Chains A and B, each alone.
Chain A
Amino acid sequence: MAATRAAPHAREIFTSLEYGPVPESHTCALAWLDTQDWCLGHYVNGKWLKPEHRDSVPCQDPTTGETLASCLQAQAEDVATAVEAARTAFKSWSAQPGVARGRHLTRLAKVIQKHQRLLWTLESLVTGRVVREVRDGDVQLAQQLLHYHAIQASTQEEALAGWEPMGVIGLILPPTFSFLEMMWRICPALAVGSTVVALVPPASPTPLLLAQLAGELGSFPGILNVISGPASLGPVLASQPAIQKVAFCGALEGGLRLLIQESVWDEVMRRLQERMGRLRSGRGLDGAVDMGTRGAAACDLAQRFVHEAQSQGAQVFQAGDVPPERPFYPPTLVFNLPPASPCAQAEVPWPVVVASPFRTAKEALAVANGTPRGGSASVWSERLGQALELGYGLRMGTVWINAHGLRDPSVPTGGCKESGCSWHGGPDGLYEYLRPSGTPTQVSCLSKNMNYDTFGLTVPSTLPAGPEIGPSPAPPYGLFVGGRFQAPGARSSRPIQDSSGNLHGYVAEGGAKDIRGAVEAAHQAAPGWAGQSPGARAGLLWALAAALERRKSTLASRLERQGVELKAAEAEVELSARRLRAWGARAQAQGHTLQVSGLRGPVLRLREPLGVLAVVCPDEWPLLAFVSLLAPALACGNTVVMVPSAACPLLALEVCQDIATLFPAGLANVVTGDQDHLTRCLALHQDVQALWYFGSAQGSQFVEWASAGNLKPVWVSRGCPRAWDQEAEGAGPELGLRAARTKALWLPMGD
């Protein structure tokens, strides 16, 4: 009896010492699919939704191609059902005290803990990812995320006073993603009191399982609804009237670019190849492989990239213990790729690494920042000074020093440039799903007959409207660009009327070339200003405040001509000066240190300037709104291009006279002219890092559409006026949040 269990070929293994299969049983995943009769629908309002007469797509094991289940594809009415469920749930969910929401999230974490085997085998089975990664990484982090956000929810009333949940959040997930990416977004949304409708790509069972686990908790069934359907349903979800925000999620991390200093190139390449040679690929459900598969499409993508790179002159190294058949693709190192070849610019697919040499740290920084992407990067160096220099210099959302891929619920993760500007985790993640209390509910009012091609394209010509009359001195004339008043490129002017309809003065008519010049001037000033200490920035803002007070009578009289009473006009000037002082003081308190579990050493949460920030000011409060927007932008280290109030740009130009004497050239630039036209120029400028627009609903829609070109963060008012004289709306934390971006800098320590 003893001998029956003995292996036939222990002898051979004894000699070869090879690895064997370590299959992870996935019977529980199959049993779960069986409970659904091998047909998955949508999970809405705590119940399975399996409408009739819907197309279905097969959910396949990416390794074998075997069909595991069929998945029903949602249609517009299913989306509407889900949104309605979320909207109903929002009423009771958002009314709960934070502590109750926290308790609910903790219960969800415990349910995940109890059913984690089902979760990890299902995820690995359908995505082909390595089960160990899902088990030890994703599932654990998912629970940590819930626990962290449960704590945030329970302190919400004190810590986030003045903010309220947005409402129903629409979440759109890409074709390949890890369920963890969904957790990063739904945890903060649920914690602050929002509810979620997630549109997952066809054939992704894990989010449905998560929704089921959440739904079966009993209370609040409709807070998380998952519908699966094609990407074409995205616009349908986004256009539902109840949806207050749409969150997107990028695809899984692709390949990598590796920059290696020339002096250590040979050594690093040798070690890299040695290590790559020991990587094992195989079925995701094997407990001893390093890499799974991401299906046939990812395999083709990698193959095409490698072939192209080869044809463009690159060398390719492939190694590792990889099953020969599709859809497995070996880990690939591409090097000696000519820098100007198309592949050197293209996005690198998984599992490919493109290595290229650099000479100095400065060059490395220029190369790394010279891409449109800005998600995350790691710096490897034994010299602390050098590593920090690079860590601070990289325009990325996350930088790890001597580490890679670490994540924690309390550390904000996000990106800049084309990696998107949304954040998850940490306090930044919470604000994504909050809005200042009292902000009007966003009614989806996308105008269908908006013509993006012609909005603000031409400037209506303006003719002389008579001589300027009124109190001297005459207002300053010109565009304030690069520290001085300049004549506009168009060499024409527009008349500004006062409240009684008389001519108040002429301002320059700015155009596309002037915007280009202003953005250039702002870029030139940017590194110097960002390098200033917060104290120095505060000093300049305070100096400007003092100058405003000295100019009080002129400013007040100009406001008077716009129909403001003298008392109120003086108060506006005084309040403007106070705003400058307040933001000067706030500039000093930026960023902080985080301590995360499992890591020795700090994580720095840095608040960095966005770069060049364009601001289109509202018509109302021509002085106060201008200053209230200028102050936080400058305090956070940005340089600005401002389009002042269209109704009365003269007050902004008055302030520019002081800016000219106090500030470095190019720090603040003011361009007057036709607001729609200038907005168009700014929104279509690729090198403007952020755009704030306070104007019409139509303009807002254009700005959002046009800014998609470089995914710059935008802030639009949709035609709603703000109470600039109130502390909350005129100088609230929202301005500070939007005026800088976060960077997480991980600094593991140890000797």
Chain B
Amino acid sequence: YKFCGRGLSKYLSWISKIQVNQPAVLRRAEQIQARRTVKKEWQAAWLLKAVTFIDLTTLSGDDTPSNIQRLCYKAKYPIREDLLKALNMHDKDITTAAVCVYPARVCDAVKALKAAGCSIPVASVATGFPAGQTHLKTRLEEIRLAVEDGATEIDVVINRSLVLTGQWEALYDEIRQFRKACGEAHLKTILATGELGSLTNVYKASMIAMMAGSDFIKTSTGKETVNATFPVAIVMLRAIRDFFWKTGNKVGFKPAGGIRSAKDSLAWLSLVKEELGDEWLKPELFRIGASTLLSDIERQIYHHVTGRYAAYHDLPMS
């Protein structure tokens, strides 16, 4: 779906008129967390499903081939085999949705996953992650190099200054160029919502990112002070729904940053189920960016299966 010429300017003028009602969004966010819970086997099944949405992530300055390798192994075997057997889920091939690393670690990840004999995609952050404050030329080059190294998903950060100064068309052009540089790889656009100033800006940036061809829109880098929050998510999910209603294209959603507990992940699943419906609850359209979430989910599964709370050493580290 291409937006250009008059079609584009029509959409831009529509976007400029959008207003998001912040107090109402906050109330809806509060409601949705209180109104939906799952218990017992429903909870176990939902948690296993949540595992399949995780982009298992490490984005640290001290990442080396060894901890990348460990991460990839964990991505392939996220839950202890005996626990899955107890739930009769061992043949469902439960892995995380992807691993997500810095561009310089893409090679390590690709190699490690190959060695483990699995086809989990490698996602790379790019375009001057996390601030995006580098030259456009180097940002584009970064995407190309990551794709060359074998990344099949690219998590780009947008240029926040374009949002804050209202240069929507320029933002659209930049993301179009990212899209081109990705080639076959999936484009996941990080809006860094904690730095956009208002929910109205979040909605507008979401729309622009989707019009420019993003496969996913993602809340945050995990490096801002405010990360994935429910109000922001509601605004982005409504933007995704509006985009679907207008164009028929389904765009994915990826919250990231600050999602640490199993309970959180359930709330995110029900949020997407409530706002977009079951058709969005698959790894092609929903991801959770997280590093420590997986171990908490594994602990909860352990508790569900055994009736006991796991000790730290009962479960393998990632």
Q: Could you tell me which A residues sit within 8 Å of B by CB distance?
A: 1-3, 5-11, 13-14, 16-22, 132, 136, 270, 278, 287-288, 290, 380, 382, 402-403, 600-601, 748-751
- What are 18 contact pairs spanning A and B, CB under 8 A? A2-B86, A2-B305, A3-B85, A5-B305, A6-B86, A6-B304, A6-B305, A8-B41, A10-B88, A19-B270, A132-B35, A278-B274, A288-B37, A402-B24, A403-B23, A403-B24, A403-B27, A751-B199
Q: Could you tell me which B residues sit within 8 Å of A by CB distance?
A: 19, 21-24, 26-27, 34-42, 44-46, 48-49, 82, 85-89, 92, 198-200, 245, 269-270, 273-274, 277-278, 281, 304-307
Whether A402 contacts B34 by the Cβ 8 Å rule is no
A656 to chain B, nearest CB (A): 51
Nearest neighbor of A18 in chain B, beta-carbon distance? B42
Whether A288 contacts B307 by the Cβ 8 Å rule is no
Chain B residues with Cβ below 8 Å from A403 are: 23-24, 27
Whether A11 contacts B89 by the Cβ 8 Å rule is yes
Q: Which of B36, B48, B278, B306 contacts A288 (CB 8 A)?
A: B36
Chain B residues with Cβ below 8 Å from A288 are: 35-38
State the CA gap A11–B42 with chains docked (Å): 10
Q: Which of A8, A10, A382, A601 contacts B19 (CB 8 A)?
A: A382
Chain A residues with Cβ below 8 Å from B45 are: 7, 10-11, 13-14, 17
Known: A17-B273, A22-B39. 17 other contacts (CB 8 A): A3-B85, A6-B87, A6-B304, A7-B44, A10-B45, A10-B48, A10-B88, A13-B45, A14-B45, A14-B48, A17-B45, A20-B38, A20-B42, A22-B37, A132-B35, A402-B21, A750-B23
State the CA gap A270–B305 with chains docked (Å): 43
State the CA gap A221–B48 with chains docked (Å): 55
Whether A11 contacts B23 by the Cβ 8 Å rule is no
Nearest neighbor of A14 in chain B, beta-carbon distance? B45
B275 to chain A, nearest CB (A): 8
Give the most central of A14, A18, A22, A751: most B CB within 10 Å.
A14
Q: Which of B23, B37, B82, B92 contacts A287 (CB 8 A)?
A: B37
State the CA gap A402–B23 with chains docked (Å): 8
Q: Which 10 A-B pairs have the closest CB atoms?
A: A7-B41, A20-B42, A13-B45, A750-B22, A748-B23, A382-B19, A14-B45, A10-B45, A750-B23, A6-B86
Whether B23 contacts A600 by the Cβ 8 Å rule is yes
Chain A residues with Cβ below 8 Å from B270 are: 19
Whether A9 contacts B36 by the Cβ 8 Å rule is no
Whether A9 contacts B305 by the Cβ 8 Å rule is no
Whether B35 contacts A22 by the Cβ 8 Å rule is no
State the CA gap A433–B49 with chains docked (Å): 58
Whether A17 contacts B46 by the Cβ 8 Å rule is yes
State the CA gap A678–B277 with chains docked (Å): 65
Nearest neighbor of B308 in chain A, beta-carbon distance? A2
Chain A residues with Cβ below 8 Å from B245 are: 270
State the CA gap A22–B269 with chains docked (Å): 17
A717 to chain B, nearest CB (A): 47
A120 to chain B, nearest CB (A): 14
A135 to chain B, nearest CB (A): 9
Chain A residues with Cβ below 8 Å from B304 are: 5-6
Q: A7-B45, A22-B39, A402-B24 are in contact. Are A132 and B278 (CB under 8 A)?
A: no
State the CA gap A101–B26 with chains docked (Å): 38
B112 to chain A, nearest CB (A): 27
Q: A13-B46, A17-B281 are in contact. Are A3 and B86 (CB under 8 A)?
A: yes
Q: A14-B45, A17-B278 are in contact. Are A290 and B35 (CB under 8 A)?
A: yes
Whether A6 contacts B281 by the Cβ 8 Å rule is no
State the CA gap A21–B24 with chains docked (Å): 28
A128 to chain B, nearest CB (A): 17
Chain B residues with Cβ below 8 Å from A601 are: 23
State the CA gap A748–B21 with chains docked (Å): 10
Whether B86 contacts A13 by the Cβ 8 Å rule is no
Give the most central of B37, B199, B304: most A CB within 10 Å.
B37
